[in-house]
A and B are shown apart, each in its own frame.
Chain A
Amino acid sequence: MVTTEVKAREGRRTRRGGNARGAPSRWIAPVVTIVVVIALWQLVVVAFGIPNYVIASPVDVGRELVASWDMLMANLWPTALETVLGFLLGNVVAILIAVVFVHWKTAERSLFPLVIFVRTVPIVAVAPILVVIFGTGYLPKILVAALISFFPTLVNMVRGLEAVQRQTMELLRVLSATRRETFFKVRLYTSLPYLFSSLKISATSSVIGAVVGEWVGAQEGLGYLIIQSTFNFNVPLLYATMVVTSVFATLFFLLIGFVESRVVTWAPKTEF
Chain B
Amino acid sequence: MTVAASTRADPDQADIVLDDLELTFETDRGRLTALQGVTTSVASRGFVTIIGPSGCGKSTLLRVIADLLEPTAGSVSVLGVDPEEVRRARQIGFVFQDAALLDWRTALDNVKLPLEVGGGVPAGTEPADPVAMLELVGLGGRAQAYPHELSGGMRQRVSIARALVCNPRILLMDEPFGALDEITRDKLNTELLRVWQDTGTTIVFVTHSIPEAVYLSQKVIVMSANPGRVREVVDIDLPFPRPADIRESQRFATIAAHLRGLLEG
Contacts and interface: CB of A to CB of B under 8 A. Distances in A.
Interface in A139-172: 165, 167-168, 170-172
Nearest to A265: B104
Given A4-B106, A266-B148, A174 B117 contact: no
A175 B118 CA distance: 6
State which size class the interface on B falls in.
20 to 34
B104 A176 contact: no
Contact of A176 (B88, B147, B149): B88
Interface string A229-272: 00000000000000000000000000000000000011110000
Interface string B11-23: 0000000000000
B96 A7 contact: no
B113 A185 contact: yes
B109 interface: yes
B87 interface: yes
Contact of B118 (A11, A170, A181): A181
A8 interface: yes
A11 B147 CA distance: 11
B147 to A, nearest CB: 8
A194 interface: no
Given A174-B68, A176-B117, A178-B118, 18 more contacts: A4-B104, A7-B144, A165-B98, A167-B96, A168-B100, A170-B94, A170-B96, A171-B100, A174-B67, A174-B87, A175-B113, A175-B117, A176-B88, A177-B117, A181-B118, A185-B113, A189-B103, A268-B148
B264 interface: no
Interface in B137-193: 144-149
Given A176-B119, A266-B148, A7 B102 contact: no
8 contacts: A8-B146, A170-B63, A170-B100, A176-B118, A178-B118, A189-B103, A266-B103, A266-B148
Nearest to A174: B94
Interface of B: 63, 66-68, 87-88, 90, 92-94, 96-98, 100, 102-106, 109, 113-114, 116-119, 144-149
A167 B97 contact: yes
B189 to A, nearest CB: 21
A267 B103 contact: yes
Interface residues of A, number: 24
Nearest to B108: A7
B66 to A, nearest CB: 6
A181 B66 CA distance: 20
A269 to B, nearest CB: 11
Nearest to A173: B68
Contact of A189 (B67, B102, B144): B102
A201 interface: no
A174 B92 contact: yes
Interface string A1-22: 0001001100100000000000
A267 B97 CA distance: 21
A8 B105 CA distance: 9
Interface of A: 4, 7-8, 11, 165, 167-168, 170-178, 181, 185-186, 189, 265-268
A189 B103 CA distance: 9
Nearest to B172: A174
Contact of A171 (B88, B94, B147): B94
Given A4-B109, A11-B146, A266-B146, A175 B100 contact: no
A266 B114 CA distance: 21
A242 B63 CA distance: 60
Give the 10 A-B residue pairs with the shortest CB-CB distance, closest first: A176-B118, A177-B117, A167-B96, A167-B100, A266-B104, A181-B117, A174-B94, A266-B103, A175-B118, A189-B104
A183 to B, nearest CB: 11
Contacts of A172: 117
A8 B118 contact: no
Nearest to A12: B146
A267 B88 CA distance: 32
A8 B145 CA distance: 9
Contacts of A189: 102-104
Which among A168, A178, A266 has the highest number of chain B CB atoms within 10 Å?
A266
B144 A178 contact: no
Contacts of B67: 173-174
Contact of A165 (B94, B100, B106, B148): B100
Contacts of A171: 94, 96, 100
A46 B113 CA distance: 67
A62 B58 CA distance: 71
Given A165-B98, A168-B100, A178 B117 contact: yes
